[in-house]
Amino acid sequence: MIEAALEKWFQFIHGEDAADRSALLDECLADDVVFYSPIVFTPQKGRAAAKLYLMAAGSAFGGDDSAAAAPAGGNEAGGGFRYTKQVVTGHHAILEFETTMDGTYVNGVDIITCNEAGKVVEFKVMIRPLQAINRVHAEMGALLKKLQGEPDAA
């Protein structure tokens, strides 16, 4: 059920062209998708809000193992984003990942749920350990502020 959306998601993760990546998110996310941040309680409703967060996360975490895809800002460890577990059944895909952000180890999970049409209706991210959460909070907050011109968000 969720396989087609997941294929688009992996193309997004490994993509490099911003317009292509935006189109891939449009194809896999439902209009009424809800994004749940690892940091803030409030669900982000609708495709536009979800895309904002997912594009920012893609930028902050680095989209690939290659040095070229490392996040801007001098990440010494070179990004190194990789999925370490993929558990997929029916409407759910749960993807565990590891990466580094400015030398801080980040371990997280994408919890993705699709509707009957195979479009993503819920996208939730959790991260560990505490040090990684604090790092992601700082980086994502700054990125989202830049992207949306709002004073405080993550």
130 binds a copy of itself (CB under 8 A): yes
Query: Measured in whole angstroms, how far is the alpha carbon of residue 6 from the centre of its chain?
Result: 13
- For a copy of itself, the binding residue among 4, 23, 77, 133 (CB under 8 A) is 133
Closest to 63 (Cα-Cα) out of 107, 113, 99: 99
Stretch that binds a copy of itself, among 14-22, 34-42, 57-65, 75-83 (CB under 8 A): 34-42
Strand partners, 83: 97
Q: How many other C-beta atoms lie within 10 A of the C-beta of residue 128?
A: 13
Q: How far apart are CB 113 and a copy of itself at their closest, in Å? A: 8
Q: How many residues touch a copy of itself (CB under 8 A)?
A: 29
Among 1, 23, 49, 88, binds a copy of itself (CB under 8 A): 88
Q: How many CB atoms lie within 10 A of CB 93?
A: 21
Residue 18, token pair as written in the block: 């911003």
Q: Site residues (CB under 8 A) for a copy of itself?
A: 36-41, 85, 87-89, 92, 94, 96, 105, 107-109, 111, 113, 124-131, 133, 137
